Structure 1
Amino acid sequence: MEMNFRINEVDGVTEGDRRFMKHINHDKYVRITACEEGNKPGCLLPETFLDIAQRIRDMEVRETDIWVLSYPKSGTTWTQEMVWCICNDLDFESAKSTILPIRFPFLELSTFLTGKRGIPPLLKDSVSYVENMESPRFIKCHLPWELLPKQIKTVKPKIIYVARNPKDLCLSYYHQLVRQGLFKGNFEEMAELFLEDRVPYSPYWDHVLTYWEHRYDPNLLFIKYEDMKKDLPSICTRVASFLDEDCSDIGQLSELCSHLSFEAMKSNVSVNYTFWENTDIVSCLGDINRNFMRKGKVGSWKEEMSPHMAKRFDTWIERHLMTTDFSFYR
């Protein structure tokens, strides 16, 4: 199969790559981008992504698909549950009885599980699972714009992209990678790598700002985690309108927001990943179920990020936002 990508192996030649390889517990990594993207640095992903990269690019996209896209730890699970409930007549009982990865699968998940033993059939080939779903399909994906299926641009399914302040995101990402046994080191070391675009799915700004450039596409809705925390009813109403669903009933909207509250989500076994307990998947992904949803706060970075590192983040954010009208809450 012809590979229409530019691929650079992370081989440890540079000092920064050596630090990355020291801290990240995984097999080989590559930077990959579509050939037509010119000089973009490429998305940092496990080499095993190459097994499915072209399949994803060539995948059939359906007009009825609904995609939730994000950089990891941006509020993806929260957004998925909101979208699924809105599109399924607020059927909370079905939402609670069927785990989220079944209802709303993660397209490239098998990238992180290739070669592992004891993988549930659902996860052995996540691309095939999505391909074989009945319509309407609900699809989660963390890939940057240029690695999405080519038909996304012509079929134009509904896309919701959720973004989060990189300070909080970096902290949340650190705790998840440590919990999964994928990162060795302290938070300062993780933050350093994040600023250097040396964590999985980086570069962060290429990811977020490319989707931001598409915010006026009629099939794409760009939302922010901080807005969800500030006024969840308004975001639910916006998302429902975008999806051509009715969410105007005050009582139903209140019930939806209650279902989506942090406390409810954290205790909901269909979304909090405790469903992997006592299964072989734990040995492959580490202790994913423990505190998958930690705090769900805006500004939690202030509790663990040093003033020096916070200042470096501020400078980094300002530099990347100089030529854009995009902004985050501080």
Structure 2
Amino acid sequence: MSTLDPPFSDHLQEDEITPDQYGDFISSLPTVGFLSQYRGFWFPTWHMQGVLSFQKHFQAHETDILLMTPPKVGTTWLKAILFAIVNRKHHLDLQKHPLLTNNPHILVPYLDIQLYNTKEVPDLTSFPSPRLFSTHLPYTLLPASIKDSTCKIVYLYRNPKDTFVSLWHFMEKNETTTDSFEETFDKFCQGVNPFGPYWDHVLSYWNESLEKSQRVLYLRYEELKEQPTTHLKRIAEFLECPFSSEEETKGMVNDISRLCSFDHLSKLEVNKSGTTIDMKTESLFHRGKVGDWVNYFTPQMSEKLDDIFKEKFHGTRLTF
């Protein structure tokens, strides 16, 4: 954890900081480029206010459904899937589905990046139950109200090599880095990347899923990509809204899978232009291809990342 410079260390505990003092607190954190280090993790500095406010003020409901991910592992895709599954009885006509005219990040907003990233505490009473929210925060930094509740958590992770390539393209398109591909890779290997270190993020939810499998659903991007309908049914069962035999007979699982597919979403006009959460909307969709990293990594880079994850995940049974 980063230590605070005076006056915070002399007069205030971190949880006593008011919104007016967030700026001074954030400016006291160690930084590398556009990232600030906070409790062992790195966050875009402009998101830190939202992180602090979310931690301090969010009150989880037992019926909440929370999507947790590191960046660039298929978050946009899974947001669409969760929204379509949970709200399927309200949107039977897929030709008029909200996903056709709304970016998934609008339908399933980030708590830290969107809702709490202002000095005003947001009013969340207008969100229908079950509330669908998302965050990139590691499990260790979630508010106590989430950890102490029985709300459902869906977590998605991905091969770190493809994750890094997607992250690199995202940062390049949004001009949030001036580093080269190689320099950015070296920082990733040091754990200095948005909401990273990646391995700590992945392990924080993995450990929780082992203890509370009825509460944390742990998904791997590659498996979801290979067998989408199988995992859509698994997600629906976990969220306690399983597909009925009648729905399956009518092809609803396949219909939702096609509606939310990467190819379909990326071609929609709403996902091709303008900005979403202050980022170029088109940057939210890269290629979604499994194994694309081979077109970017040298053998040495691949071996370096392999060695890091063998060490970090030794004895965990986690695989990529």
Q: TM-score, normalised by structure 2?
A: 0.81
Structure 2 residue identity aligned to 1:10: P
Cα deviation for residue 154 of structure 1 reads 1.6
Task: Provide, for residues 246-277 of structure 1, a one-character-per-residue CA deviation record: whole Å limited to 9, x for no partner.
Answer: 3251411111111122210111345x363538
2:30: which partner in 1? 10
Which residue of 32, 36, 52 corresponds with 2:38? 32
Which residue of 206, 224, 230 corresponds with 2:226? 230
Which residue of 87, 100, 104 corresponds with 2:108? 104
2:297: which partner in 1? 305
CA–CA separation in structure 2 for the residues paired with 1:85 and 1:96: 11
Structure 1 residue identity aligned to 2:308: W
Indicate if the aligned counterparts of 1:110 and 1:126 stay in contact, CA closer than 8 A: no
CA–CA separation in structure 1 for the residues paired with 2:112 and 2:55: 12
CA–CA separation in structure 1 for the residues paired with 2:123 and 2:162: 32
Q: TM-score, normalised by structure 1?
A: 0.79
CA–CA separation in structure 2 for the residues paired with 1:230 and 1:311: 25
Select between 195-204 and 43-52 the one with higher mean Cα deviation: 43-52
- Cα distance change on mapping 1:319 and 1:137 into 2, 3 Å: same
**May I ask how many residue pairs the two structures share in their alignment?**
288
Cα deviation for residue 196 of structure 1 reads 0.5
Cα deviation for residue 127 of structure 1 reads 6.0
CA–CA separation in structure 2 for the residues paired with 1:126 and 1:300: 41
Q: How does 1:209-224 map to 2 (within 5 A)?
A: 209-216=203-210, 217=212, 218-224=214-220
- Cα distance change on mapping 1:269 and 1:32 into 2, 3 Å: same
**Superposition RMSD in Å:** 2.7
Cα deviation for residue 75 of structure 1 reads 0.8
1:55: which partner in 2? 53
Which residue of 186, 195, 202 corresponds with 1:201? 195
Cα deviation for residue 237 of structure 1 reads 0.7
Structure 1 residue identity aligned to 2:264: A
1:295: which partner in 2? 287
Which residue of 120, 133, 157 corresponds with 1:163? 157
Structure 1 residue identity aligned to 2:100: K
**Percent identity between the two aligned chains:** 27
1:95: which partner in 2? 99
Secondary structure of 1:160 counterpart = strand
Cα deviation for residue 106 of structure 1 reads 1.1
Secondary structure of 2:111 counterpart = coil
Indicate if the aligned counterparts of 1:159 and 1:221 stay in contact, CA closer than 8 A: yes
Indicate if the aligned counterparts of 2:74 and 2:221 stay in contact, CA closer than 8 A: yes
Indicate if the aligned counterparts of 2:65 and 2:152 stay in contact, CA closer than 8 A: yes
2:180: which partner in 1? 186
